[in-house]
Chain A
Amino acid sequence: MEQVPELPSLDPGMTLLDSEDRVGPLQSLVVDHVLGSGGRVYWVDVGGHATTKPMARLAGPRVLDRVEVARAFTPHQHYSIVESLAEDVRRGEVEPSLVVAPAVDALYEDDAVGGRRAERMLRKTVARLYGAASTEGAPLLVSTESGSLARHVRSAADDVVRCRSTPMGARFVSSDFDTLVYHGRRGMQTTFAFWRRVLEARSPVEIEPAAEPAGGRETGGMDLVNPVEPVEPMEVDAVGTH
């Protein structure tokens, strides 16, 4: 029998995820956390990390219902989302079981904010995120971009989890964890299908095997259309006005 694949569990405190693949490992850790620990996840998003298509295909609606997302497009929005989250936690209106903030520094690199002020806004934001998570003893999962402000986040992290793609699948390394996620056969690509298999193997009850359309496109989720049948509606990303 195949071994159950391992994923690092998230401990209370701030964990920095360091991964080349922006979406797969992050979303997989979140889904795994929801399935393992229950509760609600609060996700402060930047730059489309919370893109729902892969997430919806990694996990069913029960998981999606338990992840609350607010997206920021400017540093000021990011700052005030975190401010209001911290306030809601303080008042006991919200009890996160995990707080997620990918690319937490990214928007503060915006020229319009300016050096010292940007740094102050980021520090305050990280402190508030930390507070919002730790009030209930929940973990905080963040990632950074490669800009000059990232060091302020790194220096505050309790732990760093690195995720790398290897020919044997993904490998996670942290201060107390070093494992290949899946001891499968060689030549395993850490694609979306890989993460889906990992999650399926770890929570066989929760993750219903999804009908993966044959030849379906990774991002579009489009079905080929049989020209004889009436056309079914489908969605595309951002079809603009014309």
Chain B
Amino acid sequence: MTDSTGVSREAGEAADPVEDGPYKVDFLDDGVHEWHAVADGVEHRVVDDYTPSIYVASRSLDDVRGHLERHPDVADTAVERRRRGFRHEAEEVLRVDVDGVDRVRSTARMISNWGEPRDHELYDVDLSPEFRYVLDRELDPTPERELEVVDLRTPEAPTRTPVEKLKVNGETVEGVEAVVEAVAGALESRDPDVLVVDSGALLPKLRETSEAVDRSLQLGRVEGLQKRAGRSKYESFGKVCHSPRRFNAPGRAVVDLSNTFLYGKTGLHGCLDLVERSRKPLQELAWASIGNVLTSMQVCEARRRDVLVPWRSWRHERFKSMSTLHESDRGGTTFSPDVGVHRAVHELDFASLYPNIMVTRNVSPEKVLCSCHPDRDDVPTLGYNVCPERGYLPSLLERLVEDRQGYKERIREADDEDLSSQLEERSDAIKWILVSCFGYQGFRNAKFGRIECHEAINAYARELLLDAKQELESAGWRVVHGIVDSIWVKPRSSDPEPLEDVADRVTDDAGIPLEYEGAFDWIAFVPRRDDGGGALNRYFGSQRTGGFKLRGIECRQRSTSAFVEEFQRDAVEALDRELEPEVVSDVLAQRLRRLEDDEVSAEDLVVTRRVSKQPEEYSRGGVAVGAMERALGMDVDVHPGEDVRFVVVDDSAAWDRERVQLAFENPDCYDAGFYRRRLLKAAESLVSPFGWSQSDLERRLADSTPVGLSAF
């Protein structure tokens, strides 16, 4: 099937036997409520006979069945033939239908506690409720029309009750009654399918606010506001994040901006693209991590093949010698950058390296180290065998790679701005899945991940990068840096072979396109601060097509204040006019003067830090801890995973909380010494590739600062 912008399926590929389904599913006391976004509005259906199923594999199925048949939460049981994994043949398992989605986990936990720890293995347990429902009923949760959105945001944190100021669809409303009026009006006139809020906690606060002015405000399409999950901390890409309570407004999908990765990175159409691919309804999809979306796609593949979804990951790494582990555990390959400033450098990148390795090398959890072809030696250095039969994960990824390519082609041809931005969102959504599919293979909670896949992908990537380097060098190029899938080169001989030709040859050998990314008039690789070796991912350079590429330096770090960021960007522009470290020093001198003359607005000095633990858990103080303590002192909650925004006003104050003022306090002073040090550090990053240190900078500043300037 294909819609105006949506997912294409190959001709002949078995489409799921799915019907158009609800874009939102609610589990209320009287049954399951389906909300269908149909051409002329919303269709509401109530289903009262839904009993979700979990599966049990056990050597004593009859005993388990006997116990369960008498259990009040169990509606029915049946013995069925299912596959326990992608590598397994079908076998007899017990299907257990339970009385409602809220009984799934407790029933599973009860069964798993019977007997010895692994006597009964459970399947299809931890599927999110809406996703489970549309899978079980073979429904497609993609809405059949454009969705109506109402957007509610609090202009300034923190939100207090009653809510006195609110942005409703971009328009700011002030005053408690006006806020309630505006929200009620928007809900009534637009009958939104989606509520976008900047914090889920806004919904109960709005309700309380309406009660305060004696008006009833119904946020959902039927009465009731459900609280879904408690506050919790989780880790995403090594960062501690914070998941606030989730609120559900029946009949509407709630997108909580403080609690979504994909909606923030792509937007509504990006999310809807993934709704269609993963069959996770919009509200759950917006909330889900990328890994969770990828898992959902895998669950769909599993369902198609009668494979059950394991609850606990019992599958383990096999024993391997430490020598093999040493080979496999080396991570991505990186050449040590050639520290310094280089002119006329070209960058080449392998396109979507990791997904393409998985697609072209058939890296799939059920195919790596298959038992049917033990004698093959496929994976370089590791010698793992890979089954020649097509794996399900490479097929899934291939479709993503192709569809993304298709979107990109259509973006190039599109003359309608709306359409092209929708396609951009869809293309971005796929990109996020593709960039994370590799890391996810080695992730501890990956349902279908497998560490040997992770190792194999790395081994292939290493070989590809090394081969490419060799090819480039023998064609007369010198490699100045390489990171995982990118290589930077400059001519080694006076007459090197044209890069396009070398890239074509590498592409043919690799089966993965090595693409010409662009040329740099100059590029600087920054040394490590501690020992002068090349930092792997810190560089800045001027692209021949215009603009700069800045990586890993201060202006790219989200904690950096606008003032320091602007300085660094301006200094890079100055370097582009004259490639000498002295120009950095000149820009620096000018900014230091502004700083010392009190000419910088505090707003430009706001530092943002993400909090990773409670203030008392930090062993050492500091400005960020000071900011947290200060916030707590003002009754403003800051939880791990959230940001604190502050200005340093007196870095030498005895109490941490006196060192800073929070951004919302509108600070009217700053500690010039603190920001001077920040500027110097940012300047040092720029001059260090020229061989300058901070003391060289200081010396130059002292030499060039007119005496008695402060007298002006």
What is the interface of chain A, defined by CB distance below 8 A to chain B?
42-43, 50-53, 55-56, 61, 63-74, 76-81, 83-85, 114, 116-117, 120-121, 124, 215, 217, 222-225, 227, 230-242
Known: A65-B323, A114-B109. A72 touches B439 (CB 8 A): no
B543 at the interface (CB under 8 A from A): no
Q: How many chain-B residues does the 8 Å CB contact rule pick out? A: 58
Known: A215-B531, A225-B339, A230-B479. A65 touches B314 (CB 8 A): no
Give CA–CA (A52, B117) in the complex, Å. Answer: 32
User: Which of A72, A77, A117, A237 contacts B112 (CB under 8 A)?
Assistant: A117
Chain B residues near A124: list those with CB within 8 A.
116-117
Is the CB–CB distance between B445 and A74 below 8 Å? Answer: yes
Chain B residues near A230: list those with CB within 8 A.
473, 478-479
Distance in Å from the Cβ of A33 to the closest Cβ of chain B? 14
Distance in Å from the Cβ of B350 to the closest Cβ of chain A? 12
Give CA–CA (A42, B451) in the complex, Å. Answer: 19
Is the CB–CB distance between B322 and A55 below 8 Å? Answer: yes
Is the CB–CB distance between B334 and A77 below 8 Å? Answer: no
Is the CB–CB distance between B335 and A231 below 8 Å? Answer: yes
User: Which of B117, B237, B483 contacts A121 (CB under 8 A)?
Assistant: B117
Give CA–CA (A4, B465) in the complex, Å. Answer: 46
Give CA–CA (A68, B317) in the complex, Å. Answer: 11
Give CA–CA (A5, B334) in the complex, Å. Answer: 39
Give CA–CA (A66, B320) in the complex, Å. Answer: 10
Chain A residues near B317: list those with CB within 8 A.
70-72, 77, 81
* Extra A-B contacts (18), CB below 8 Å, given A80-B314, A81-B317: A52-B325, A65-B321, A68-B319, A69-B320, A69-B325, A73-B451, A79-B118, A225-B337, A233-B333, A233-B335, A233-B469, A236-B334, A236-B536, A239-B483, A240-B439, A241-B438, A242-B484, A242-B537
> Which of A79, A224, A237 has the largest count of B CB atoms less than 10 A from its CB?
A224
User: Which of B237, B331, B480, B533 contacts A237 (CB under 8 A)?
Assistant: B331
Closest 5 CB pairs of A and B: A73-B444, A239-B332, A52-B326, A77-B316, A235-B330
Chain B residues near A84: list those with CB within 8 A.
316
Give CA–CA (A65, B323) in the complex, Å. Answer: 6
Measured CB to CB, the nearest residue on chain A to B109 is A114
Is the CB–CB distance between B436 and A233 below 8 Å? Answer: no
Chain A residues near B337: list those with CB within 8 A.
225, 231
B67 at the interface (CB under 8 A from A): no
Give CA–CA (A73, B329) in the complex, Å. Answer: 15
Distance in Å from the Cβ of B472 to the closest Cβ of chain A? 11
Chain B residues near A234: list those with CB within 8 A.
333-336
User: Which of A74, A215, A223, A225 contacts B312 (CB under 8 A)?
Assistant: A74
Number of A-B contacts (CB under 8 A): 155
B481 at the interface (CB under 8 A from A): yes
8 A Cβ contacts from B378-398 to A: none
Distance in Å from the Cβ of A119 to the closest Cβ of chain B? 11
Is the CB–CB distance between B117 and A70 below 8 Å? Answer: no
Measured CB to CB, the nearest residue on chain A to B327 is A52
8 A Cβ contacts from B506-553 to A: 531-534, 536-537
User: Which of A43, A114, A224 contacts B531 (CB under 8 A)?
Assistant: A224
8 A Cβ contacts from B326-362 to A: 326, 329-340, 354
Is the CB–CB distance between A241 and B435 below 8 Å? Answer: yes
Distance in Å from the Cβ of A41 to the closest Cβ of chain B? 9
Give CA–CA (A68, B320) in the complex, Å. Answer: 5
Give CA–CA (A65, B333) in the complex, Å. Answer: 24
Chain B residues near A42: list those with CB within 8 A.
319
8 A Cβ contacts from B527-586 to A: 531-534, 536-537
Is the CB–CB distance between A231 and B312 below 8 Å? Answer: no
Chain A residues near B113: list those with CB within 8 A.
116-117
Give CA–CA (A230, B479) in the complex, Å. Answer: 7
Give CA–CA (A69, B318) in the complex, Å. Answer: 8
User: Which of B332, B338, B451 contacts A236 (CB under 8 A)?
Assistant: B332
B466 at the interface (CB under 8 A from A): yes
User: Which of B237, B314, B322, B533 contacts A50 (CB under 8 A)?
Assistant: B322
Give CA–CA (A80, B482) in the complex, Å. Answer: 40
Give CA–CA (A148, B57) in the complex, Å. Answer: 31
Chain B residues near A236: list those with CB within 8 A.
331-332, 334, 536
Give CA–CA (A193, B313) in the complex, Å. Answer: 39
Give CA–CA (A238, B454) in the complex, Å. Answer: 11
Give CA–CA (A130, B314) in the complex, Å. Answer: 21
Give CA–CA (A66, B324) in the complex, Å. Answer: 11
Chain A residues near B325: list those with CB within 8 A.
50, 52, 69
Distance in Å from the Cβ of B204 to the closest Cβ of chain A? 27
14 contacts between A and B (CB under 8 A): A51-B329, A66-B321, A67-B321, A67-B322, A68-B319, A81-B316, A81-B319, A225-B339, A225-B534, A230-B473, A231-B480, A236-B536, A241-B435, A242-B483
Known: A77-B316, A231-B481. A224 touches B532 (CB 8 A): yes
Interface string of B437-476 (1 = CB under 8 A from A): 0110000110000010000000000000110010001000
Chain B residues near A68: list those with CB within 8 A.
319-322
Is the CB–CB distance between A239 and B533 below 8 Å? Answer: no
Is the CB–CB distance between B117 and A223 below 8 Å? Answer: no
Give CA–CA (A230, B484) in the complex, Å. Answer: 18
Chain B residues near A224: list those with CB within 8 A.
336, 531-533
Is the CB–CB distance between B331 and A235 below 8 Å? Answer: yes
Known: A50-B325, A56-B326. A235 touches B333 (CB 8 A): yes
Chain A residues near B109: list those with CB within 8 A.
114
Distance in Å from the Cβ of A73 to the closest Cβ of chain B? 4
Is the CB–CB distance between B323 and A61 below 8 Å? Answer: yes
Give CA–CA (A85, B336) in the complex, Å. Answer: 41
Is the CB–CB distance between A70 and B536 below 8 Å? Answer: no
User: Which of A55, A76, A116 contacts B313 (CB under 8 A)?
Assistant: A76
Is the CB–CB distance between A70 and B314 below 8 Å? Answer: no
Give CA–CA (A238, B478) in the complex, Å. Answer: 25
